[in-house]
Structure 1
Amino acid sequence: MLGWGVERLRADMNRLLALLFHQGVLDEQFLQLQQLQDESSPNFVYDVVNIYFNESEKLLRNLRTLLMDREFSDYKKMGIHLNQFMGSSSSIGAKRVSNVCVAFRAASEQNNRSGCLRALELLEHEYCYLKNKLHEFFQMEQQRALAAGVRYPMQN
């Protein structure tokens, strides 16, 4: 019975990942990140993704602050934030977030404030979707690890 629960959780995790790949939310870079995880660093992917989330929250706040300033004109500074966001998103395999960063950067290079505002909304939406789905994935992974690690004494 215990093994069945572990296998069911593993299957649920695989289905979720398959959905995220099918939707274009993630790309093969996420799988490469997973391959770096082993017994010596069992939380590697979780740790890397959490660092990504923390940095992304700061970058989103910075982008929103820049765009909300009525006197805003520093599109070069916005481009720097977007390059950081795009690079870190690519490094964890966050394909749709990275793609929105590319479109956002194009709007900023054209000094298109309304285009930047629309891109920021889309970026926040894609980022939240990614964050929610990866939290769901990591919760399943944690449940699977706990279920696999639980050992009951043998009954006579």
Structure 2
Amino acid sequence: MLGLGACNLEVDMNRLIELLFHQGVLDEQFMQLQHLQDESSPNFVYEVVTLYFRESEKLLRNLRALLYECTDYKKMGIHLNQMMGSSSSIVVKHVQNISVRLYFRPQSSNWIGCIQSLEVLEHEYFYLKNKLHEFLQIEQQRVIAAGVRYHPLLQQ
């Protein structure tokens, strides 16, 4: 894929984003996030997405621990609020919608329903993570193919 020109990589990137739009995973606000990236902040999307991944995985671990250790539904609500907020910041529709459903589950003290909703949330999150990771890799290759110096963090 490295041999492809920057234009072909941009086409691949756009197809992936269109797929995620079509699936309802992302919406038009993600394009606005991309437009905030410019020469003065060439890694803006990468940084925002990476921060989202780091925080979301911590929140998911905490939610799972709360469900299995003490079923503290009040603390779960706090973590779910954080998950909904961070998901909305990068416009992750599926993750945000599932977080909302899980947020209201504990009010009925339905432990099995909470576990099932958390599993769906984790599944959607990891699907999103894989797709956005693919997007970031294509973006990195596109920038390299275009001859633009890219942030060293992306070359890890």
TM-score, normalisation: structure 2: 0.90
Figure out how many residues of one structure are paired with residues of the other and give that number.
147
Match of 2:78 in 1: 80
Residue 147 of structure 1: how far off its partner (Å):
0.6
Partner SS, residue 56 of structure 1: helix
**2:138 aligned to which of 137, 140, 143:** 140
Paired residues for 1:54-65 under 5 Å: 54-65=54-65
Residue 53 of structure 1: how far off its partner (Å):
0.3
**Per-residue displacement from partner, 1:25-80 (whole Å, max 9, x unpaired)?**
111221111111110000001001100000001000000101111xx242111000
Counterpart-to-counterpart distance in 2, 1:73 and 1:82: 14
Unaligned runs of at least 5 residues, structure 1:
151-156
Unaligned runs of at least 5 residues, structure 2:
149-156
Match of 1:91 in 2: 89
Q: Is the 8 A contact 1:79 1:109 kept in 2?
A: no
Residue 106 of structure 1: how far off its partner (Å):
1.3
**What RMSD, in angstroms, separates the aligned Cα atoms of the two structures?**
1.6
Moved more, 30-39 or 75-84: 30-39
Match of 2:152 in 1: none
Counterpart-to-counterpart distance in 1, 2:77 and 2:30: 25
TM-score, normalisation: structure 1: 0.90
Alignment partner of 1:129 is 2:127: yes
Counterpart-to-counterpart distance in 1, 2:45 and 2:107: 33
Match of 2:38 in 1: 38
Q: Percent identity between the aligned chains?
A: 68
The structure number with the bigger radius of gyration is 1
**Per-residue displacement from partner, 1:89-111 (whole Å, max 9, x unpaired)?**
01101000000001101112222
**2:108 aligned to which of 100, 107, 110:** 110
